[in-house]
């Protein structure tokens, strides 16, 4: 069933929420959603008639034309699509999943027939090659059918509300869950204060989203109709414009090995004095229709070995990204042991590979669920690192629809670990792949995570994520006091240019008392420039120092909030420079027009902590810009 909808998706991740829906658009969406059951019924009737007669009515052709999934859909988050496209993707999801689910549950079509129907619908609704449609649907079928069999009450509308959150109705309450949060002192004000900058700061390199594609073909075809291009599968480019460069491509292309290796070597060359290395996931390519356990492990092995070779004995703290799952995005609970759908292979592999960086005591939870905590770091006695596997919050992880029990367990473990850290007088850095806010994590997970941040914001000194490919940040506001800034997260960007940004990595300067970030630097190279000088290695440049550039007194949550609320939200220049920073000065992004509304849209991605909670964002995105 609706695996085709998997495909429409993005398995990838790209930035979130640059488009603010107007009241009128929301009204129109709700109106269309009210009619969608009838659309589903009509589509089912026409489609089944076609399966019977082999003839497509004009009405069926029209419906299929309406439901076309653009390639754009695979590239951006749903909240970035225009309102029309977002609504139609929801209608299409409900109609196709509704049809397939009904046919499967009623016994009218068996598993193989449902797979074939799904492949047919994928070919009808997307530009993707037959090989891509077939590959994706066959890879995901076992997972989806297991879940549908185990959850006979699951409806198509519920499934679409999860996968297409928040554009397909409110996420269904059937997916809700809560954890136990211990009582703590009330939040009395924003989190402020910092240790003055000093020569003794800890220097941390943050590398994320390398997306190494072993099938990348320099000179290959970058303009293909599939979710990922520039691969051997697509052959050589027939024009100069369509040619994949040696140093990456702004289109839907991952990175060749040289790009991955160059980023690691550049980071080490420019910062040989770094103390810690944070690596936040998505080592695997976007060839989502042909991933295998062996293929993923080969990529991971090559990447980890390069990290080790380049950084030597430096401490490295890795986490898993949604692309490490196989098939992509899928993270089954631990009691699922069937090797076809289980995630044990990945957790075993991670425990073995990470044993070179993590103490044995941290590996128990890696084996169980791909997450860990480490304290008593040599030289940093009061710093605790928590590496989450928060891909279980991802709306594309179908297992969220199966059960939230283990998802809750990891969050409860996070809570309990923070409680122990608080008692021990430690400060904590949280590493994860997916920003806990925004549209990628399903709403109930974001809310529970927020409750934890509310409770422990005093000791959470830093949060570090990847996934969006944008070099950006997100301020956490207290749930009950939406103007009170209590924490924030840095997103590292990406060393791949998939998604249209330039490759980058970040460097943080952290004090040794409360372990808060005192300054953030970003380093990047221009894909355009590098490919014009293909024979030589890219020129890496310092892009900005955040605190210095915006002239901030410190980088506490209160200070960042003050900047966003009083400066950034009113200044075209500040919003423009932030836009440039987010894409690491990508020509692809900067050559697109961005009017005031587009500039202001960035404020939501900075201030939203839970999808549909736009309280802070609505307060600051209407100021006149000067
Ligand atoms: C949906 O179809 C039913 C039955 O044909 C009809 O009674 C109902 O008014 C329709 N609903 C909408 C919202 O069009
Ligand atoms: C290049 O190949 C693409 C895809 O096969 C095709 O659509 C296009 O027309 C070709 N262009 C030239 C100049 O041959």
Ligand 1 binding pocket (C-beta < 6 A) is 34-35, 38
Which residue segment(s) compose the domain that 37 sits in?
Answer: 3-175
Lowest mean pLDDT among 24-38, 160-174, 260-274, 544-558: 24-38
Nearest Cα to Cα of residue 78 among 594, 440, 492, 615: 440
The answer to whether residue 184 is domain-embedded is no
For residue 77, what pLDDT is reported? 65
236 C-alpha vs ligand 1 centroid, how far in Å?
52
Atom 1 (ligand 2) nearest CA: 238
The answer to whether residue 192 is domain-embedded is no
Ligand 2 binding pocket (C-beta < 6 A) is 238-239
Looking at the structure, do residues 229 and 283 belong to the same domain, yes or no?
no
Distance in angstroms (rounded) separating the CA atoms of residues 202 and 304: 23
The answer to whether residue 188 is domain-embedded is no
Mutate to test the pocket of ligand 1, among 36, 38, 40, 91 (most ligand atoms within 8 A of CB): 38
Q: How confident is the model at residue 10 (pLDDT cuts 50, 70, 90)?
A: very low
Residue labelled with tokens 């995005």: 329
DSSP code string of 145-211 = HHHHHH-TT--HHHHHHHHTTTSSSSPPGGG---------PPP-S-----PPP-TT-EEEEEE----
Enumerate residues 6+ apart whose C-beta is below 8 A from 406.
333, 334, 369, 392
Atom 8 (ligand 1) nearest CA: 38
Looking at the structure, do residues 238 and 291 belong to the same domain, yes or no?
no
* Cross-strand bridge partners of residue 488: 475
Higher pLDDT, 88 or 112: 112
226 C-alpha vs ligand 2 centroid, how far in Å?
15
Segment 434-448 mean pLDDT = 95
50-to-54, 58, 99 alpha-carbon distances in Å? 5, 11, 13
- Asked if residues 496 and 248 have their Cβ atoms less than 8 Å apart, the reply is yes
Looking at the structure, do residues 435 and 330 belong to the same domain, yes or no?
yes
3-state helix, strand, coil in the chain (%, to 5): 45, 15, 40
The answer to whether residue 229 is domain-embedded is yes
Higher pLDDT, 194 or 66: 194
Looking at the structure, do residues 388 and 466 belong to the same domain, yes or no?
yes
The answer to whether residue 181 is domain-embedded is no
Q: How confident is the model at residue 450 (pLDDT cuts 50, 70, 90)?
A: very high
236 C-alpha vs ligand 2 centroid, how far in Å?
11
The answer to whether residue 517 is domain-embedded is yes
- Asked if residues 120 and 2 have their Cβ atoms less than 8 Å apart, the reply is no
Atom 6 (ligand 2) nearest CA: 238
The answer to whether residue 626 is domain-embedded is no
Residue 392, domain CATH: 3.60.21.10
Looking at the structure, do residues 165 and 61 belong to the same domain, yes or no?
yes
Q: How confident is the model at residue 11 (pLDDT cuts 50, 70, 90)?
A: very low
The answer to whether residue 193 is domain-embedded is no
Looking at the structure, do residues 272 and 239 belong to the same domain, yes or no?
no
Looking at the structure, do residues 165 and 227 belong to the same domain, yes or no?
no
DSSP code string of 83-145 = HHHHHHHHHHHHHHHHHHHHHHHTTSS-HHHHHHHHHHHHHHHSS--HHHHHHHHHHHHHHHH
Structure-token pair, residue 390: 């928060």
Indicate whether 166 pLDDT > 90.
no
**Mean pLDDT in the chain?**
93
Enumerate residues 6+ apart whose C-beta is below 8 A from 518.
194, 195, 197, 201, 509, 510, 511, 547, 554, 555
Q: How many domains does the chain have?
A: 3
Segment 24-31 mean pLDDT = 77
**Segment 295-346, tens digit of pLDDT:** 999 999 999 999 999 999 999 999 999 999 999 999 999 999 999 999 999 9
pTM of the predicted model as reported, rounded to 2 decimal places: 0.94
For residue 127, what pLDDT is reported? 87
Nearest Cα to Cα of residue 279 among 243, 307, 255, 305: 307
Looking at the structure, do residues 209 and 226 belong to the same domain, yes or no?
no
Residue 346, exposed/middle/buried by CB under 10 A (0-12, 13-18, 19+)?
Answer: buried
Q: Among the atoms of ligand 2, which is closest to the Cα of residue 239?
A: 13
Q: Is 180 left (phi over 0), alpha (psi -120 to 50) or beta?
A: beta
625 three-state secondary structure: coil
Looking at the structure, do residues 286 and 378 belong to the same domain, yes or no?
yes
Q: How many CB atoms are closer than 10 A to CB 359?
A: 12
Looking at the structure, do residues 440 and 567 belong to the same domain, yes or no?
yes
Looking at the structure, do residues 17 and 45 belong to the same domain, yes or no?
yes
**Segment 386-426, tens digit of pLDDT:** 999 999 999 999 999 999 999 999 999 999 999 999 999 99
Answer yes or no: is 433 a known binding residue: yes
Atom 14 (ligand 2) nearest CA: 238
Looking at the structure, do residues 223 and 262 belong to the same domain, yes or no?
no
Distance in angstroms (rounded) separating the CA atoms of residues 407 and 556: 30
**Segment 233-290, tens digit of pLDDT:** 999 999 999 999 999 999 999 999 999 999 999 999 999 999 999 999 999 999 999 9
């Amino acid at each position: 069933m609706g695996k085709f909808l998997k495909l429409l998706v993005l398995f990838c991740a790209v930035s979130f929420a640059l488009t603010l829906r107007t009241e009128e658009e929301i009204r129109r969406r709700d109106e269309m959603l009210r009619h969608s059951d009838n659309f589903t019924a009509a589509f089912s009737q026409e489609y089944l008639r076609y399966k019977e007669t082999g003839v497509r009515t004009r009405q069926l052709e029209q419906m299929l034309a309406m439901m076309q999934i653009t390639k754009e859909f695979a590239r951006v988050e749903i909240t970035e699509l225009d309102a029309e496209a977002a609504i139609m993707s929801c209608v299409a999801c409900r109609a196709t999943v509704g049809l397939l689910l009904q046919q499967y549950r009623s016994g009218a079509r068996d598993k193989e027939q449902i797979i074939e129907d799904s492949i047919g619908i994928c070919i009808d609704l997307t530009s993707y090659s037959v090989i891509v449609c077939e590959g994706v649907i066959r890879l995901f079928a076992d997972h989806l059918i297991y879940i549908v069999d185990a959850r006979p009450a699951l409806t198509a509308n519920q499934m679409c509300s999860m996968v297409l959150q928040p554009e397909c109705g409110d996420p269904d309450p059937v997916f809700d869950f809560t954890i136990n949060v211990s009582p703590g002192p009330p939040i009395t004000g924003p989190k402020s204060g910092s240790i003055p900058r000093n020569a003794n700061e800890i220097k941390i390199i943050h590398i994320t989203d390398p997306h190494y594609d072993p099938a990348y073909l320099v000179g290959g075809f970058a303009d293909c109709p599939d979710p990922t291009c520039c691969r051997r599968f697509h052959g050589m480019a027939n024009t100069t414009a369509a040619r994949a460069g040696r140093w990456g491509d702004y289109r839907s292309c991952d990175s060749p090995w040289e790009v991955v290796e160059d980023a690691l070597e550049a980071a080490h060359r420019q910062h040989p004095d770094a103390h810690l290395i944070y690596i936040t996931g998505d080592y695997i390519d976007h060839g989502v229709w042909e991933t295998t356990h062996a293929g993923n492990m080969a990529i991971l092995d090559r990447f980890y070995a390069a990290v080790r070779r380049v950084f030597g004995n430096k401490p490295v703290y890795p986490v898993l990204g949604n692309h490490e799952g196989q098939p992509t995005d899928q993270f089954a609970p631990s009691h699922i042991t069937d090797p076809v759908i289980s995630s044990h292979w990945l957790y075993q592999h991670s425990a073995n590979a990470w044993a070179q960086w993590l103490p044995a005591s941290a590996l128990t939870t890696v084996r169980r669920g791909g997450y860990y905590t480490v304290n008593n770091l040599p030289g940093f006695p009061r710093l605790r690192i928590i590496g989450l596997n928060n891909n279980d919050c991802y709306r594309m992880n179908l297992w969220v629809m199966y059960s939230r029990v283990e998802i809750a367990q990891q969050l409860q473990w996070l809570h309990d670990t923070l409680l122990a850290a608080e008692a021990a007088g430690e400060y904590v850095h949280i590493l994860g792949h997916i920003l806990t806010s925004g549209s990628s994590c399903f709403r109930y997970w974001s809310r529970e995570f927020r409750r934890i941040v509310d409770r422990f914001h005093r000791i959470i000194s830093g949060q570090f994520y990847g996934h969006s490919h944008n070099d950006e940040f997100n301020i956490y506001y207290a749930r009950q006091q939406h103007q009170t800034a209590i924490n924030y997260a840095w997103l590292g960007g990406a060393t791949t240019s998939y998604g249209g940004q330039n490759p980058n990595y970040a460097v943080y300067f952290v004090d040794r008392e409360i372990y808060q970030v005192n300054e953030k630097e970003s380093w990047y190279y221009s894909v355009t420039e590098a490919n014009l000088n293909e024979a030589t290695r890219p020129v890496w440049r310092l892009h900005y120092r955040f605190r210095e550039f915006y002239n901030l007194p410190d980088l506490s949550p209160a200070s960042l909030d003050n900047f966003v609320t009083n400066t950034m939200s009113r200044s075209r220049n500040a919003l423009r420079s932030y836009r440039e920073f987010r894409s690491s000065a990508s020509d692809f992004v900067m050559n697109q027009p961005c009017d005031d509304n587009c500039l202001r849209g960035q404020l939501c991605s900075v201030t939203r902590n839970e999808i549909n909670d736009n309280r802070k964002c609505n307060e600051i995105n209407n100021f006149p810009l000067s």
